[in-house]
Structure 1
Amino acid sequence: MQRSHALVVSALVLVSGTAVTAHAADGDRFAGPAAHSRSAAASWCEKQGGVAQTRVPYFTGTGNKITPLGGEREMCLFTAEDGSRIMIATDTLAADRPTLAALAYVRRPDGPSSPGNPSIAYCQGINGTAMFGNKPTDGGGWGVRNETDPSKAISACMFGDGSVIDAWGLKYHQGGVIRGADLTKKFRADIPAA
C-alpha cells in the first residue's frame, strides 16, 4: 500500500511540475517549501503559536489604489503583545529542509542600507525580491481577500526557492529586533546558524 501511495505522489509531482521529495514513511511530509499540504503546514503554524491565513497579493503602486492580483498563499502570522507582527508562508515555516528565507532569518546576513525603503533594499541585497514591478514606486504586498487599504498589504521577501517571509520582520531581526515572535526555533527544519 505504501509503495502505491508513493507512486501516486510521484505521478502527481511529475504532472504538476513541482520538484519535491516524498517521505513514504509518514505519508504527508514533503521536502520543498511549497510541498506541504495546506492542512499540515497550517497545523505546524498553529502549533508554533501563529495564526494561519490565506492571503492574496496586491499591487499598490503609488497613492491609495490597491489592485488584487491572481493567486493566493497560506501565511502564518505571529503577533506580539506590543502589537508588532511577523508573517511567513506556512510552507516556509513547516518545510522539512532549510529554505533561503529561514537561512536569511536565522543567519541575519549583512545587507545594504538605502535612503528608500530599507526592508526592500535589505531583501534585494540578500538576493530576494519584494518588488511588484520594475519602477521604484511599484509596491505591493500580501493581504486578506477583499482588502481595500494599501497600508494593510504586508511586504514580503521572496527567494529563488519560493520561500517567503515578512520583509520588515526580516530587516528588523537582522538589526536585533524581534517583531511578532522569534522564529528561530519555530522552523520545522533544523536551520544551521553558520
Structure 2
Amino acid sequence: MKRSHALAVSVLVLVSGTAVAAHAADGTPPAGRGTSAAAAWCVKQGGVAQTRVPYFTGSGNVITPLGGEREMCLFTAKDGSHIMIAADTLAADKPTLAALAYVRKPTGPSSPGNPSIAYCQGINGTAMFGNRPTDGGGWGLKGETKPDKVMSACMFGDGSVIDAWGLKYHQGGVIRGADLTEKFRASIPGA
C-alpha cells in the first residue's frame, strides 16, 4: 500500500472513530456524523438510531449498567407505542433469526409471568439477564436510572436482537411503533 493511501485510510479511521464516539445525550448520533451504514438504513426506514447499553434490573428499583453497547433502531408510532431492533439486524443483507421470528410469527408458549420473555424463550431466543425468573434487564440509553425506561429485547443465536414486547405483540397481530416487515434490508422468506 502506498504511504499516502495508508495515511488517508488512517485519517479516515481516526475521524470515523471520533465521530462514532460523539453522540447526543439521548444516544442519537449527530446528523451527518458518525452514523454507520446500519444506522443510516434505520433512519432511511423512518427509525431513530440510538446507542444503547445493557442494564441489569433484577427485581428492584436499582439498575446496574453492564459492559458493551449496541446501535439500536427505535420506531415510535403516533399512539406512543414503539418497537426497538438492533440496527445491524434491520440492515443485515441476509435474513436473521430475529427478522424471521418477526415476519413468520411462530407460535410460542404463554406464561403467567412475563409473556414477552416466555415467547422469546419459546422460540429459542433469550431475554434473561440472570438465572432467576425475577432477574430482569434490557437496553437503555447511557446513564439511565429508571428501570421502566429499559427495554427488554430478545436475542437469538446469530446475535440478532429485537424488542421482546414488540415481537410478542406482533405475533398476536398488534403492530407497535411500526410494521418492520418491509423495513428489513434482506428479503425475508415468508414476508
TM-score norm. by structure 1 comes to 0.80
1:145 partnered with 2:142: yes
Residue 78 of structure 1: how far off its partner (Å): 0.1
1:120 partnered with 2:117: yes
CA contact (8 A) 1:58 1:142 kept: yes
Amino acid at match of 1:169: G
Residue 75 of structure 1: how far off its partner (Å): 0.1
1:55-94 matches, within 5 Å, as 55-94=52-91
Residue 54 of structure 1 aligns with which residue? 51
| C-alpha separation in 2, matches of 1:62 and 1:132 | 11
**Which of 127, 130, 135 does residue 130 from structure 1 map onto?**
127
Amino acid at match of 1:62: S
| C-alpha separation in 1, matches of 2:49 and 2:88 | 11
Residue 189 of structure 2 aligns with which residue? 192
Identity of aligned residues (%): 85
Matched residue SS, 1:61: coil
Unaligned runs of 5+ in 1: 5-36
CA contact (8 A) 1:42 1:90 kept: yes
Residue 165 of structure 1 aligns with which residue? 162
TM-score norm. by structure 2 comes to 0.82
Runs of at least 4 residues off by over 3 Å: none
Unaligned runs of 5+ in 2: 2-33
Q: How many pairs were matched up?
A: 159
Residue 38 of structure 1: how far off its partner (Å): 5.7
Residue 43 of structure 1 aligns with which residue? 40
| C-alpha separation in 2, matches of 1:92 and 1:62 | 29
CA contact (8 A) 1:38 1:74 kept: no
Amino acid at match of 1:44: W
Residue 171 of structure 1: how far off its partner (Å): 0.0
Provide, for residues 129-154 of structure 1, a one-character-per-residue CA deviation record: whole Å limited to 9, x for no partner.
00001100100000000000001100
What root-mean-square deviation, in Å, do the aligned CA atoms of Structure 1 and Structure 2 show?
A: 1.3
Matched residue SS, 1:157: strand
CA contact (8 A) 1:99 1:163 kept: yes
